[in-house]
Homo-oligomer: A and B are copies of this chain.
Amino acid sequence: MRRLLLYLSLASLLAVMAILTAAAPPPAGMDLPSYTADGKLKRPAGFRNWVFAGASLGLSYAEVSNQAPPGRMHNVYLQPEAYQHYLKTGAFPEKTMFALVLYEPRQKESISKHGYFSGKLSAVEIAVKDSERFEEGWAYFDFGAETKEAAEPFPKDRCFACHHQNGQVDNVFVQFYPTLRDQRK
């Protein structure tokens, strides 16, 4: 009897933990990830209208960067509804997408004498939180310079592993993006 009670208590505890750690469902009105019949992610159309999370130039985690300095400009966006949910709760709901838009650097054009601005579009990459579909929760996709309409996820060891280990909040590099890092009151 005592053992049965212990098992029941443990089961209840696990159920409560599962509820507490489950991600919130996607907020109403949010652009949702859409997939082809063979499981590729379709490139989201409207990411340039999403909330801007932050920019970086030449950010690289490799000991020896494979890019010539200064590297590429990174622009990161997420859906407005996912951003509002994050501001309120500190967590990203299911179906959150981040767009990472990469540009070649340019300098010393027009009246610019110092510094770097964004040149040619180099790549659009998308991170998706979709626990129904991806065992690890998040998956990562590369659409080239908007040249691919649909993309297969990267293998787990390409993006997921590092995001999972180093992203400050739920696989996301909140620490690098001021609109996420500094705007939660």
Contact = CB atoms under 8 A, between A and B. Distances in A.
Contact of A166 (B48, B51, B54, B110): B110
Q: Which of A77, A109, A117 is the most central at the interface, judged by chain B CB atoms within 10 Å of its CB?
A: A117
A116 to B, nearest CB: 5
A116 B60 CA distance: 9
B117 A54 contact: yes
Contacts of A168: 110
A56 B115 contact: yes
Contacts of A59: 112, 114-117
Interface residues of A, number: 47
Contacts of A103: 178
Task: Specify how many copies of this chain sit in the oligomer.
Answer: 2
B48 A177 contact: no
A183 interface: yes
B52 A48 contact: yes
Given A52-B77, A166-B111, A182-B121, A116 B175 contact: no
A44 interface: no
A176 B112 CA distance: 9
A79 B163 CA distance: 32
A57 interface: yes
A78 to B, nearest CB: 12
A51 B75 CA distance: 12
A116 B56 contact: yes
Interface string A112-147: 111111110100000000000000000000000000
Contacts of A117: 54-56, 59, 176-177
A63 B113 CA distance: 7
Given A58-B114, A59-B115, A121-B182, 12 more contacts: A48-B179, A54-B75, A55-B73, A56-B117, A60-B112, A62-B114, A65-B115, A69-B114, A110-B166, A110-B173, A111-B162, A118-B177
